[in-house]
C-alpha cells in the first residue's frame, strides 16, 4: 500500500481543527467553572451582607459609688452600618487578653453552671437600629482579674432571618438558631432585660 502524500496536508489540517475545537471546549469549561465559583461567592456575600456591617466594642465604665462593684456599670457600644435594624440581639463582654473566657459561650459556662450561679456581663436588645448605640451591663469588674483586657461579642438575627455572632476577634459565624434559643443551652434563660439601646451621635 502506498501513501498518498497529497493527503498529508489534509490530515494535518484535520488534526489542527480537532485540536482547536478541544482547546475551545477546555476554555469554555474553565470559564463556566470560574463563573460558577464567582456566582457562589457573590451569593455568599449577599447572604452575609448585613451581618458584615454589625459589630461592637467596649464603651466607657461608670464606676460604683461606694464599695460594691456591682453598683457600677460597663458600656458596650454597638454599630449597625446597614440601613435596616437587626433583632434578638445578645451582646456581652469577654476576654480579649488574659486567662479568662474568650467567647460568650465560655463566659456563660463558667458563670452560669451549678448551684452557685453568678451573673454574666451580657444583656439583650430586642432591636438594634442603624447607627451607633450603647447598651449597659451591670458591674465593672468583669475583666479586672488576671491582667484581662475586655472585648465584646454581639449575636443577632438579620433582616432575612439568619442568625450570626461577631466574635471578639472580628470573625463572623453563623448560629444554628436565634441567639436567645442558642444561648439558652448555656443556662442563659429569661426573663430577658431587652434594653432599648441609647443612640450615640
Please state whether 146 falls in left (phi above 0), alpha (psi between -120 and 50) or beta.
left
156 and 86 part of one domain:
yes
Number of compact structural domains in the chain:
2
Which cell is 198 given?
441609647
- What CA–CA distance (Å, rounded) separates 27 from 31? 6
What's the pLDDT at 149? 85
Between 100 and 147, whose confidence is greater?
Answer: 100
Query: Could you give the C-alpha distances from 87 to 23, 45, 53, 68, 174, in angstroms and in order?
Result: 52, 20, 14, 33, 15
58 and 43 part of one domain:
no
122 and 25 part of one domain:
no
129 and 32 part of one domain:
no
pTM score, whole prediction? 0.77
Q: What is the pLDDT of residues 48-102, one digit of tens each?
A: 999 999 999 999 999 877 666 567 899 999 999 999 999 999 999 999 887 788 9
**Residue 102 domain boundaries:** 54-200
Mean pLDDT along residues 8-32: 73
Amino acid at each position: 500500500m502506498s501513501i498518498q502524500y497529497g493527503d498529508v496536508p489534509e490530515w494535518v489540517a484535520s488534526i489542527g481543527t480537532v485540536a482547536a475545537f478541544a482547546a475551545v471546549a477546555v476554555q469554555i469549561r474553565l470559564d463556566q467553572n470560574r463563573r460558577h465559583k464567582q456566582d457562589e461567592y457573590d451569593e455568599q456575600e449577599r447572604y452575609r451582607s448585613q451581618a458584615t456591617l454589625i459589630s461592637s466594642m467596649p464603651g466607657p465604665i461608670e464606676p460604683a459609688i461606694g464599695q460594691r462593684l456591682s453598683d457600677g456599670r460597663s458600656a458596650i457600644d454597638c454599630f449597625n452600618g446597614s440601613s435596616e435594624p437587626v433583632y434578638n440581639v445578645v451582646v456581652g463582654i469577654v476576654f480579649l487578653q488574659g486567662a479568662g473566657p474568650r467567647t460568650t459561650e465560655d463566659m456563660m459556662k463558667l458563670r452560669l453552671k451549678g448551684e452557685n450561679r453568678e451573673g454574666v456581663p451580657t444583656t439583650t436588645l430586642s432591636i438594634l437600629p442603624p447607627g451607633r448605640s450603647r447598651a449597659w451591663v451591670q458591674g465593672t469588674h468583669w475583666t479586672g482579674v488576671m491582667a484581662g483586657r475586655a472585648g465584646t461579642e454581639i449575636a443577632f438575627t438579620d433582616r432575612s432571618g439568619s442568625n450570626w455572632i461577631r466574635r471578639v476577634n472580628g470573625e463572623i459565624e453563623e448560629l444554628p438558631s436565634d441567639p436567645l434559643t442558642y444561648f439558652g443551652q448555656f443556662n442563659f434563660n429569661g426573663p430577658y432585660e431587652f434594653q432599648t439601646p441609647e443612640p450615640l451621635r
